[in-house]
Amino acid sequence: MTISPLFTDLYELTMAQGYLLNHHNPHVVFDMFFRRQPYGGGFAIFAGIDTLLDDLEGLKFSCDDISYLGSLGYFGDEFLEYLSEFRFSGSVLSFREGSLVFPEEPLIRVEAPLIEAQIIESLLLNIVNFQTLIATKAARVLVATEFGSILEFGMRRAQGYNGALMASRAAYIGGASGTSNTLAGRLYNIPVSGTMAHSWVMAFDSEAESFERYSELYPDTSILLIDTFDTLNQGIENAIIIGKKLRKQGKRIGVRLDSGDLSYLSKQVRARLDAAGLRYAFIAVSGDLNEQIAAQLLAEGAPVDVWGVGTQLATGHPDAAVSGVYKLSARYQGRQIIPTMKVSNNPAKMTNPGIKQVFRFYDKDRTPLRDVIQLADEPIPEGPMELHHPTLHYKRTMFSAFHSAEEQLLPVMREGKRLNPQEDLKIIRDRVITQLQRMDETFLRQINPHEYKISLSRALRDLKFRMIDEYNRG
Amino acid sequence: MTISPLFTDLYELTMAQGYLLNHHNPHVVFDMFFRRQPYGGGFAIFAGIDTLLDDLEGLKFSCDDISYLGSLGYFGDEFLEYLSEFRFSGSVLSFREGSLVFPEEPLIRVEAPLIEAQIIESLLLNIVNFQTLIATKAARVLVATEFGSILEFGMRRAQGYNGALMASRAAYIGGASGTSNTLAGRLYNIPVSGTMAHSWVMAFDSEAESFERYSELYPDTSILLIDTFDTLNQGIENAIIIGKKLRKQGKRIGVRLDSGDLSYLSKQVRARLDAAGLRYAFIAVSGDLNEQIAAQLLAEGAPVDVWGVGTQLATGHPDAAVSGVYKLSARYQGRQIIPTMKVSNNPAKMTNPGIKQVFRFYDKDRTPLRDVIQLADEPIPEGPMELHHPTLHYKRTMFSAFHSAEEQLLPVMREGKRLNPQEDLKIIRDRVITQLQRMDETFLRQINPHEYKISLSRALRDLKFRMIDEYNRG
């Protein structure tokens, strides 16, 4: 699937023509970052960069695109000609896909001629904002289920085809074990799963017959939906018959509960399965689940083995979006770098000037301690450092008790070419899980989490304050 | 853009293979409907059917799709061969795109062999649930702005490319005047708009220069963003200079406010424009708007001419999805029609059996009075009718005071071929606006609206009760 660069806000193009005709197309540096964690949580999972890089490599206006733009009446021949030759020729640095990330730190750094950097803005934000939202949601569900087995099946209420496909991709990265979205399975190599709906059970003369037919056909994946008629008086009994039959073949069943009180029912069903000697039969639950409901079920001791999560995972509900932004941080004048920043009455809306790097500091067990945003030309941190709060100027600290430091923004694209092939999603998913497991639990709390520390280096903070002072002097 | 039928939940395919191997593939009838209005409002705008019909016509498993399915280990040669010949051959009836619609009534009726009807379920729900969500959101904003001019620019935080494209389409249908999404403009023939971002203003040595350059290039669409530095002390003054210059050429400016208190600022800016003789200059506002904020601004008398609405419109926030479902209502046994229904302990989860039609009743001014769901073979309603509440069996009424009745489910596809070409979106949008204007205002209230009446015909209610009785007798 390639996307047209016409997938951009029109103002990017009206501005781009203005820059071209005013001969104002310097090399610039943009940072993508967000200011607030989604869901009021303590972390986000960065996702989408691999999708973005593929798209950037393929970006090209088609003849239809160009003639459409011509028809709008805004654009002259010189600009249309420029667009017909348009390719993204910039460089990109980025956090690794699947990194735990935090507010204020640059997640992606784009260096390109101004016009190119602007035309890709909407595409970049669209991809990364959404996939990060969903990967984060999946990781929250993963934590809530104590690293349980989660199946994503939200496609029927996801936002568009591609909303569904990207949601499946991002949910898997964030820790889901699989998806029901078969096309996502093929495109992204995600394990797919799914067995029967109520309509299957109702298509036969009896529930017992429907289970029988199913287990004959799929003896290895017989997850029987037992709530169509009466879970405890009928469904579980019919499932146990199949379970005993399959046990003789060395195979096991699962049962799925999709309605009713999942805590009460799962305990009853577990007891009945155990009493029938089907201790290995597993219990899947579904039905408008989210991280809060999962946590509550576990707190009540519900014996759930598999969590089917749909709409709320695929849409990131109750948040609609990660509010990622893309802001100019420097421009080149010849070979000289001019840092730029947005000065605002609202300190939270100020940006951090200059070309920056992010370091993550670890203790000896590789538990992350804090992140530091510094200027890219500062040396790799070693000894004790003076660190500053990103917005509150009176907050500072000395920091030295760390074991190692790791650069987070790595080169992923140079002159429009990606530097590495797509990673297998399984590797990205493993990275997410490893990081979550290394993180102190207080940062993973669902609500009111411990706030992970993001600091500015002394040099970055000094640059920022100097620029604010200059601005205030007019 | 064609979508693969692999865009389906895996269980549709595992079940489909089961039906095929069990020689159980009768013609069936499915209804798509929803049970609750989005946003707690009094209406929804039905959208997406035209997109769906195009997709259904083009559905075809590719060789890659088939070999991927083969690789999963679930599917045998007979079924894979069936899929390689798969085309949707069914018939579809539907409400017209852009209709005001209400809970419980079938919006789409699909008649097809069981396997085909199941394979398209996820696609159908994905498209219609999402576009209906967004068209409804747009209509709510339209009502809140008293049928004002709304620009949708949510793509950077929309859910995927296609989430953004479908959102632009549906927002326009629901009453937006245009979009910033340039690709949506090309694909769906939606007016596109957009002028400048803060980055344009900051790219020049001064705000005044940036406005000057912009208005030279785009004298007909100079919407100047005046809040980059200081709206009232600088931005509006620089805009007025341009406004006076353009006025001499017979052109007018607009100004956009993207931050601060939009009520206070818009009044101040209006006064300054008027005092400068620029009464025709218009004021656009933006920044996390939604229907509640728009209504509040108008209630305070804010002189807003254009509403830029982004994230919340393109994602349907705070709702994630319309909870549309797709349920079996009848199956054929030879030529005989067997009505089916889901009987549930929860009356709201019962379905209405049989092949159904929906009539909308109007008074002489074409104001809708109520909708009636009846069996498709009942005659067109004329005289007094006994009508029943959809779930409460003791509620019934006699109804006769209407001027006309109109069938709502119209044939749109027969044997897999659509019967009409795509409608121009402008026509659909006009239909939405006309209906909203004809509706009694109490139904359009943002919260706690008057509930529009949906009834069952006597015959449908009798069939439903008969089936419940049969079920209860076991």
Confidence check: pLDDT of A450 > 80:
yes
What's the mean per-residue pLDDT of chain A? Answer: 95
pLDDT digits (tens, 9 = 90+) for B406-433: 999 999 999 999 999 999 999 999 999 9
**Among all residues of chain A, which has the CA nearest to that of B163?**
A160
Tell me, yes or no, whether B90 and B101 share the same domain. yes
Asked if A294 and A146 sit in the same domain, the reply is yes
Residues of A in contact with B7 (CB under 8 A): 155, 161, 164-165, 181-183
- Determine the 3-state secondary structure of B219 from DSSP: coil
C-alpha to C-alpha distance for A433 and A413, rounded to whole angstroms: 26
B 230-289: CB under 8 A from A: none
For CA atoms A129, A390, A465, A409, the dihedral sign is: negative
Q: What's the per-residue H, E or C state across B178-196?
A: EECEHHHHHHHCCCECCCC
Q: Do residues B174 and B219 both lie within one domain?
A: yes
- Closest-CA residue of chain B to A323: B157
Residue B328: pLDDT band (50, 70, 90) is very high
Does pLDDT of B324 surpass 80? yes
Residue among A24, A156, A180 minimizing CB distance to B129: A156
B419 with B339, same domain?
yes
User: Hey, which residues 142-161 in chain A have their CB within 8 Å of chain B?
Assistant: 153, 155-161
Averaged pLDDT for residues B446-454: 94
Q: Compare all CA atoms of chain A with the CA of B219 and give the residue at the minimum distance.
A: A74
Give me the pLDDT at residue B383, please. Answer: 82
Between helices B63-72 and B77-84, what is the axis angle to 10°?
A: 160
Pick B125's closest partner by Cβ from A69, A125, A157.
Answer: A157
Does this complex have an ipTM over 0.85? Answer: yes
In this structure, is residue B168 part of a structural domain? yes
Q: In the predicted model, what is the mean pLDDT of residues A164-178?
A: 97
Confidence of residue A224 (pLDDT cuts 50, 70, 90): very high
Mean pLDDT for the stretch of residues A300-314: 97
Query: Does one domain contain both A248 and A349?
Result: no
β-strand pairing of A254-257 with A336-339: unpaired
Q: What is the CATH number of the domain that holds A184?
A: 3.20.20.70
- Quickly tell me which residue has 């989430």 as its tokens: B163
A328 interface with B at CB cutoff 8 Å = yes
Q: Are residues B367 and B447 in the same domain?
A: yes
Rounded Cα distance between B230 and B260, Å, is 10
Listed residues B269, B293, B315: the one ending a domain? B315
Query: What are the distances in angstroms from CA A28 to CA A34, A109, A328, A395?
Result: 20, 10, 7, 31
**φ and ψ of B452, to 5 deg:** -70, 140
Q: Is residue B24 part of a domain?
A: yes
Q: Residue B34 is part of which domain span?
A: 10-134+320-473
Same domain? For A235 and A113 the reply is no
User: Is there a single domain that holds both residue A291 and residue A349?
Assistant: no
Query: Which of A11, A14, A162 has its CB closest to that of B162?
Result: A162
B21 CB neighbours in chain A (<8 A) are: 217
pLDDT 10s digits, A403-445: 999 999 999 999 999 999 999 999 999 999 999 999 999 999 9
B2 falls within a domain: no
Bridge partners of B453, per DSSP, are: B370
Whole-number pLDDT of residue B344? 72
* A315/B321 touch (CB, cutoff 8 Å), yes or no: yes
State which of B291, B315, B339 marks the end of a domain.
B315
Mean pLDDT across A452-463: 96
pLDDT of residue B343: 77
Q: What phi and psi values does residue A277 have, to the nearest 5 degrees?
A: 80, 20
Residue A338 zone, left/alpha/beta (φ > 0; ψ -120 to 50; rest): beta
**How many other C-beta atoms can be found within 10 angstroms of the C-beta atom of residue B205?**
7
Question: Is A141 inside any structural domain?
Answer: yes
- For residue B467, the chain A residues in CB contact (below 8 A) are none
- Mean pLDDT score, A175-181: 97
- Average pLDDT score over residue span B88-93: 98
Task: Kindly indicate the confidence band of residue A21, based on its pLDDT and cuts at 50, 70 and 90.
Answer: very high
Calculate how close chain B gets to A321, using CA atoms only, in Å.
6
What percentage of chain B has pLDDT greater than the value 70?
99
> Peptide bond preceding A318: is omega within 30 degrees of 0, i.e. cis?
yes
Contact state of B161 with A7 under an 8 Å Cβ cutoff: yes
For residue B10, give the nearest of A65, A165, A193 by CB distance. A193
DSSP codes of every residue in A63-111: HHHHHHHHHTSS--HHHHHHHHT-----EEEEPPTT-EE-TTS-SEEEE
CATH number at residue A331: 3.20.140.10
CA A158, distance to chain mean position in Å, is: 15
| Domain presence at residue A3 | no
What pLDDT is stored for residue B1 in this prediction?
53
Q: Please give the pLDDT value at position A342.
A: 81
Q: Both A23 and A112 in a single domain? A: yes
Residues A278 and A409 in one domain: no
Over residues A57-82, mean pLDDT: 96
* Residue B208 to residues A214, A322, B428, Cα–Cα distance (Å): 73, 34, 42
How do residues B226-245 score in pLDDT, each as one tens digit?
Answer: 999 899 999 999 999 999 99
Q: What is the pLDDT of residue A1?
A: 53
Percent of chain A residues past pLDDT 70, beyond the cut: 99
Q: Is residue B3 part of a domain?
A: no
Q: Please indicate if any CB of chain A lies within 8 Å of the CB of B13.
A: yes
The domain tally of chain B equals 2
Tell me the mean pLDDT in the region A362-379: 95
- Which of A294, A315, A336 terminates a domain? The answer is A315
- Residue A5: inside a domain: no
| Average pLDDT for chain B | 95
In a domain, A54, yes or no: yes
Q: What is the model's pLDDT at position A380?
A: 83
Q: Please indicate, yes or no, whether residues A326 and A403 belong to a single structural domain of this protein.
A: yes
Q: Are residues A366 and A276 in the same domain?
A: no
Which secondary structure element, helix H or strand E, spans residue A263, and what is its range? helix A262-275
In the stretch 118-137 of chain A, residues with CB closer than 8 A to chain B read: 118, 121-123, 125-127, 129-130
